[in-house]
Amino acid sequence: MDRLIGGLLRGGVILSSAVTLAGGVWRFLQAGSVMPHDRVFLGEPAGLRSVGGVLRGVAEGHSESLIQLGLLILIATPIARVAFSVYAFAVAGDRTYVIITLIVLAALAASLAGWQL
């Protein structure tokens, strides 16, 4: 079980790194000679603030969306680990840890949804 969880975490980080790097290279190729406007922080465009917006941006060919997708994969990696742990504890028949891990998973989901516990 530890090897599977370790592989899940490692795979998530590697996938996230590859997607983010690909987006960064793509961004550089698109606007490598353009000086960035970084004197004033403007935040992310509205299209990069939701999963749906990021996926639409990737489908439309926006490099910034691909970078953001890599970051979303990085955030999803430990959440997938917790979800997998629920399954592993259920298979092992350990109800106490299933309940505790479900509480942790609910807290993660609530924080991603913007709820404060």
What's the whole-number average pLDDT of the chain?
88
* pTM: predicted TM-score of the whole model, two decimal places: 0.80
DSSP code of residue 47 = G
**Is it the case that residue 39 has pLDDT exceeding 80?**
no
* DSSP conformation letters of 88-111: HHHHHT-HHHHHHHHHHHHHHHHH
pLDDT in tens, 40-82: 777 777 778 788 889 999 999 899 999 999 999 999 999 999 9
pLDDT for residue 95: 94
In whole angstroms, how far apart are CA 23 and each of 16, 38, 60? Answer: 11, 19, 13
Cα dihedral 86, 87, 89, 94 sign: positive
